A and B are shown apart, each in its own frame.
Chain A
Amino acid sequence: MRPGALDRDQRRFSLDQLLQHGLNAIILGGTYALLGIGLTLIFGIMKVVNFTHGEVYAFGAYVMFALVMPLGVNFFVALVLAMALGILLGAAIELLLLSRLRDADIDTTMLVMIGAWIAMQNTEQLAWTGVAHSIKNPFPPEPLVWGALSVSWNRLFVFAVASLLIAGTYYLVNWTKFGKALRATFQDRDTAALMGVRIDRVNTATFALGSGLAAAAGALLGPVFVVVPTMGDLAASKAFAIVILGGLGSVVGATVGGFILAFAEELGSGYISSGYRDAMGFVLIILILLVRPTGLFALKERIS
């Protein structure tokens, strides 16, 4: 082979590789954003560092597994049910554990959430064992191919649903009465209360909504990956990174943060080192802190 031909060949290969990385990042970013939004709302409104977020995500995946595999429930019906149960679980956690700690300081609530996280994760292992489970999906097994690029139908579906949920949350927060109460609570809790906003209800609703989104993410990604008890840990650490990137309480910030993280991971592991893939998010956080400590889309100054 002539040297010129080799060069051209390699260039085409690397362009294909770049495009494939980009496509992977966009698909991945959608689910990251979904994970981040739920957490950022809880964070922003309730000032609670929610360590159960990852476990609610795993819960969504396990509900999906239990409904689809042994019970044979329709895939799409199961998806809706998983999200609904996630909302209920979130409301239960809030009412049971957090509502009584409303005036407690941040480390008290956080310890409670850490305790709940440990207990939940191990309950999952007790109930379903540590063996990985997979969920069958109704999509064609052959991927969608476009030139040298390809993506599975399942991931495309995940991306579409995630985008819908993100748009829905954005609408809910910015254009509804509930959203107004939410934003008012975020800006000034005491004044909002004086103006007639039921803070306790806003809290429960926020936690339920955030948990519903996490459960939806788990139910969507369960069929893409496999379902294991420790799956929530990785998801939670990504969600934390996204919240910092985007800024506290910002839906837009979490969305953009999710995509930035996905691109950093894909390109970083593709061109720097695959071992540091999961470090990218944290490295980004440190860079952001150096350059712009308020986060990319902070709604409120975070230096007290």
Chain B
Amino acid sequence: MAHQAIVVIGNGMVGHKFLESLMGSGQHFDITIINEEAHLAYDRVHLSSYFETPAPDLSLGRAADYEAWGVKVAWGKASSIDRETKNVYVGDQRFAYDILVLATGSFPFVPPVPGKDLNGVFVYRTLEDLDKIRNYSQNSKTGVVIGGGLLGLEAAGALKNLGLTAHVVEFAPRLMPVQVDEAGGKMLKRKIEDMGIGVHVAKSTECIFDTDDSGNVAGLKFADGQTLETDMVVFSAGIRPRDELARASGIEVGERGGIVINDSCRTSDPSIYAIGECALHSGRIYGLVAPGYTMARVLADVLTGGEQRFEGADLSTKLKLLGVDVASFGDSFAKTPGAEEMSFIDPIKGSYKKIVLSSDGTKLLGGVLVGDTSDYGMLVAQVQANTVLTNPAELIVPSFDGARVKAALPNSAMICSCENVSKGAIVTAIRDGASDLAGIKTATKACTGCGGCAALCKDVLNAELVAMGQIVNNYVCEHFELSRQELYDIIRVRHYQNFDQVLGHHGNGEGCEVCKPAVASILASLYEEYVLKDGLEVLQDTNDRFLANMQRDGTYSVVPRMAGGEVTPEGLIAVGSVAKKYGLYTKLTGGQRVDMFGARLEQLPFIWQELIAAGFESGHAYGKALRTVKSCVGSTWCRYGVQDSTAMAVLLENRYKGLRAPHKLKSAVSGCTRECAEAQSKDFGIIATERGYNLFVCGNGGMKPRHADLFASDLDDETLIRYIDRFLMFYIRTADRLQRTSVWLEKMPGGIEYLRQVIVKDSLGICAELEADMEKHVQNYQCEWAATLENPEKMATFKHFVNSDLQDDNIVFVKDRDQHRPIYDFERLEALPMLNIANN
């Protein structure tokens, strides 16, 4: 039996999606597409990235795929449709159809402004348009985009990428008038202007003018008499449906354009369908790709006997425009009778959030977000789920407990819109045994698309586990039903020496990437043993395993210790020579030392040989251990210093170096109350006073900053060190895996007062033990790199291949500013000049 003949006019994104959906159905058709562009379908949404270097591959339709699908491509413009005989003509070529699909898209609207035909006036729609813009821009300095909508802003960004001074001119009193309200538009304008793009709103362009009848654009004149000089103009003033073929063949079109379709995407002719931007559904044309894709899927389903229908589309959008997050959803303009608006503006962070509520304030109807769209998923879910709100303000006012609102979502709420997973489906998966995000992913596919719902999924998980009455346990992992603290105590009391003993007596399975490093760290804290000892080395996290910090391409960075941030000129020269010899990228760290990047595994021993010969030792930048004790120069040089803070920092760093802990440890010593060393952001920070030192504990910078608490005042050197010894050992004994001191303290019942009782008053009677443990550490410290260089067996493991001396040819560096960096994956496709880095 002959297959049905389908002819598709147009091969844009929606036309392509239709083919893709049809191929997925498994049914066979005889398909011909008519394509007037020079390329098969490409990603028009990311058109502006075409000007980036390197330009990404935007193509969607690939000739090989089409060939494999048996799709024939006719290159050219369809000139007419003969509906009587069911034929489409491309010039004098004839294509017979059983089913005709119009996916002709739209064209950019150019308002009838005098001067629109001058040289230097463009539209922004196809790759050809972009080529023309690029060519013309080479002799231009300034470019103006007329139209401040989504595409207009993209276009302005593209002009800026081309090196032009870019401006956007919008007729409406704000940018993105369709999606964003007045206040949101104001915030958006500010953000766009901050990027160096000129924004001119409420401007009606009267004409585009040239000078001296050159025929080339020289500027714009506005209705208010003002002018804006420019070398080129890009129109992005909206789209109009390409309905001329349909119109000419007598198919019903809308009053203001667009091919009328029903819920099956069928036009007034039962053999002809229309999808995408050319189609008019319920009086509406959809200029976004998502509804177009939905139409494409619906039509593929209809043609293969399915019953899907297109019932309009939600115009909720979330996008990143020139790096600015913008979203609008639901009834964003409060058109519902009686609707109330509520907004929150944070001028410091540059964010604007507005929600639209039902007249009684109990239902969320829609909203606008600019600058921060992190709550978009949660808010859209609230709208769809029709949740009853008791305190709607909490939806937009920043709170300290984000989990609260999300837990209140009903089960019908959509959590993952990529895979259509509701909260109910996730809850079911949790009740069926999924106990972590990975389990939820496997069971429901949620969070496997864009990943944007990960935080929401975790909140649902935690809330659900608590609701199920399940104690959210603090077991280390699936192999041990013990917390880190319990593991520590067991290992200490039973004197276990290796992982197999611990696993054999208290665990199950083979262990994993969570419990192995945790046990290794405990063994290191307790016994001060060489971390690469046989049997211990395979437990260590990557960085500890090779005593360096692994970077994204598998190379390492190297950090020699510079205690207190002190380094001699000779030391600096030595570090410089090593970096130069091995071709390493160098950067100063926040902890007052030098980081050298790009060392291959096999180079590490050679690099360390030279560093150790120059008097350096391991900086433990790779370990969950003490990193640095930062300092200011204090009384030795500073006019204000009251104590020798550098000497104290050097003393402390040397005392605690190499100390393995549940997480990394940072410290600083400031020589006076001006606090130049930023000691209050450290795990333990010391600030000099006239009478001694103030000790601060449990501060943190990083992801969740916390000011350290003042623990004790005006301490003499000896007492200071005694307290820190006890404090660190108590932390090592009792903290959870990967728990910084700040969180440890926050979770500690009794808090800082309890900690003082333990450390100062010795309320648990363990201080002598804690001090002895620390003394053992200080006595047994060894530089792990010095030890490794003396061990030929270990040295042999610093090779990329066990059976060859060759190097990893996947490691490639490219020049970046005055140094180099690992190549990005997308650059590998480009013929970039590779760098030859010294690699002896």
Answer whether A and B are interacting partners. Answer: no
Residues of B at under 8 Å CB distance from A? none
Listed in ascending order, the chain A residues whose CB lies under 8 Å from chain B are none
